[in-house]
Amino acid sequence: MTIAVLGGAGYIGSHTVAQLVKAGEDVVVLDNLITGHERAIDKKARFYQGDIRDYHFLSQVFSTEKIDAIIHFAAFSIVPESMQDPLKYFDNNTGGMITLLEAMKQFGIDKIVFSSTAATYGEPKQIPIKESDPQVPTNPYGESKLAMEKIIKWADVAYGIHFVALRYFNVAGAMPDGSIGEDHHPETHLIPIILQAAAGTRDNLQIFGDDYPTKDGTNVRDYVHVVDLADAHILALNYLRAGNASDAFNIGSATGFSNLEILNAARKVTGQAIPAKIGPRRPGDPSTLIAASDKARSVLGWKPQFDDVEKIIGDAWNWHENHPEGFGDRQ
Ligand code: UDP
């Protein structure tokens, strides 16, 4: 039986494909390559290029391959872009999920692990955030993912499609052997942007806002190494294979770092001065997001190996220094 990884050419998807292959799984990747990179896909996985909103494409792949379960990453994930173009997010993320569930129902595929996000919580009432806390997104990205969670819940009730929603906090880092890493164009995430500034390929690094109610006034986020996040998907897959009930889990380290702390850690790891200015707040940003992640640890048995922000930044820096052009496939 085969695992279909949707969005397996993307940043988190490609790391998960590599970890699945290492675990001995047979893997197919479906990706439209809008933001993904074919070169990021492990050579042992079979690749089908197409869009998850295309029912015909999904049904072709699902009739060719014998799919046991889906791991679904194929979504847009940039908060500021979602504020400017919410329909793009509802179409691909929420709409894409509906098409995918239709195809899963048709082909009798009854297990899915998918990417949700801490952005579904919005501005939390308490820290750390528990899975049972209210979900009130402050941006369309989070809203599009919350809608996915709600839709799948009813698909489980009606059609018996079992799911695990993994609510990611902030992911960073790269494969420790340097084989794959993060390559977004344009890059919007804090750690790779700081590393571009460290490498001298970006100036005008700005920290967005220093008047939040946090320890130093800058936003606080919870960082997870991409390989630990990838491994959480494999645990979730095995949880579903064991016949357990559908559920949602936070995947975070349970430790918060402010944007200035991340900047200082990157200065230490890279040995570069990394000039930065304080800019205005970025619309849609909650002040602090820190996960309570004991549920993933106790129920899924998740045990992050790289629970150290300097290791996370170090692996990202190793990738960035050796691949300043990312996968080198930019038009
Ligand atoms: N951030 C920043 N400067 C940048 C990019 C991001 O200060 O050039 C901040 C952003 O406002 C947020 C944090 O870094 O407080 C993490 O943002 P990112 O986009 O990496 O992830 P998000 O939390 O939005 O998923």
Ligand 1, from 77, 138, 189: best to mutate by most atoms within 8 Å of Cβ? Answer: 189
- The percent of residues above 70 in pLDDT, for the chain, comes to 100
pLDDT of 68 higher than 90 = yes
Q: Is 111 in the pocket of ligand 1 (CB under 6 A)?
A: no
Residue nearest atom 18 of ligand 1, based on CA coordinates: 189
Question: pLDDT of 290-319, one tens digit each?
Answer: 999 999 999 999 999 998 999 999 999 999
Residue 121 designated active-site: no
Q: Which domain holds residue 266?
A: 190-221+254-322
Strand partners, 249: 166
The rounded Å distance from CA 191 to ligand 1 centre is 8
Give yes or no: residues 27 and 104 share one domain. Answer: yes
Write out pLDDT tens, residues 142-154.
999 999 999 999 9
Query: Given the structure tokens 């049904």, which residue do they identify?
Result: 59
Helix ranges, 44-168 (H): 55-64, 79-84, 86-89, 96-107, 140-159
Q: What would the mean pLDDT of 87-109 be, rounded to a whole number?
A: 98
Give the separation between CA 164 and CA 244, rounded to whole angstroms: 10
Percent of the chain having pLDDT more than 90? 96
The whole-number pLDDT of residue 31 equals 98
Residues 263 and 120 in one domain: no
Tell me if 190 CB under 6 Å of ligand 1.
yes
| SS3 labels along 24-41 | CCEEEEEECCCCCCHHHC
Place of tokens 């986020």: 221
- Residue 266, helix vs strand vs coil: helix
- Number of structural domains (the chain) is 2
What average pLDDT does the segment 269-280 reach?
A: 97
277 & 313 share domain: yes
Render pLDDT for 26-62 as a digit per residue (tens, 0 to 9): 999 999 999 999 999 999 999 999 999 999 999 999 9
Catalytic member of 141, 168, 212, 223: 141
Q: 46 and 114 share a domain?
A: yes
Distance CA 220, CA 214 (A): 7
Sign of the CA dihedral 109, 110, 113, 119?
positive
Same-domain check for residues 200 and 312:
yes
Both 123 and 206 in one domain: the answer is no
How many C-alpha atoms does 244 have within 13 Å on its Cβ side? 16
237 and 260 share one domain: no
* R_g over Cα of the chain: 19
Residue 331 has pLDDT above 70, yes or no: no
Q: Does residue 183 belong to any structural domain of this protein?
A: no
The whole-number pLDDT of residue 330 equals: 80
pTM of the model: 0.97
Tell whether ipTM is more than 0.90.
yes
Residue 45 lies in a domain: yes
Q: Tell me what pLDDT residue 272 has.
A: 97
* Atom nearest to 282 CA in ligand 1: 11
pLDDT value for 307: 85
Residue 101 in tokens: 């569930």
Q: How far is the CA of 190 from the centre of ligand 1 (A)?
A: 5
Q: Identify whether residues 235 and 265 lie together within a single domain.
A: no
